[in-house]
Chain A
């Protein structure tokens, strides 16, 4: 298997200079800076499929 190619990076260093006019982006950049990992009780682990 070939190794995964890395996409055009938007580097950490660059993100420091991102304009913070978007609240959602500012929040995400903060999380990336803190290397936030999801907790098992956090919202983001349940949603993979509908109950259907």
Chain B
């Protein structure tokens, strides 16, 4: 174990502080916390800020230079310093959307040189915004049963079918999409992972209202959408393997301990600033106990992440330790939001517009949204199936004939 800040890290912290001092005014005013309340505005401000962060290596830090990243060695202390300092300065961090956090690592692992050259640089700069076309009305947890079809036509595929729950499809430039291209192959071997522009003729996007009141996901319909076969990532019929690589990154993103820490600090502030009968809620031992319980959990998740990164660096394979992160992290975030709401009491149920509204209504929005993330990206139950069957080696569910 060695967690000491070295001289190098002290200097780095100074550098980040200096950067923030000089550039803070360029950061989009919207705090990272309340972005879910409004449709994401990815034009202008955000794009400039994101580009600046990429240039300085404060986001996409380890993406190779050749593809437009900063090309740094992974260093979790530095990542942590960036997160801490941005948080302390109340400045929005680099984006962590589906393109940046899921597609880019997948392309690095499975993409052709041409695909990497073409997509990674504009994606990390937020010049291309992506959506993830996996789920279908009849293929949710059982994703491999998806039916959207791609039929070969010369050098192209002609795609027909429907996706659902596609987050951000209404604002996305591109989609990474799972399509059945080999109808005669077994379920898991007939799928291809294909990327294409959302303005390709034959695509229709219908936003779906969500429980938060903000339409964040959509139905996406494909009618004779023509896409070059060259847009397949990782080889024809190999989409299941590629998709799982994306899912692995998605699960890491969804369980991100920095996000939990961010929430925890905000809950702590709430406990100190909100009062009941004239006393700060922090003086109430029951609320304090709930807070410290969650604080211990957040601490456990942060330290666990450090252990996982150390293990990965030593070439120890991904195992049980990685599999539990999505399940635990998403549940933890939901609990933190719930505590925030409870601290606020009746004020905590105000929504939309009210002079008493706290943080723009984000506590309720996040409480709902984080429940969505317990479901999305593989539900909690599916995570437990994975943990028990793959992590603990327990017997598989007997297969139902024909499923």
User: Does B associate with A?
Assistant: no
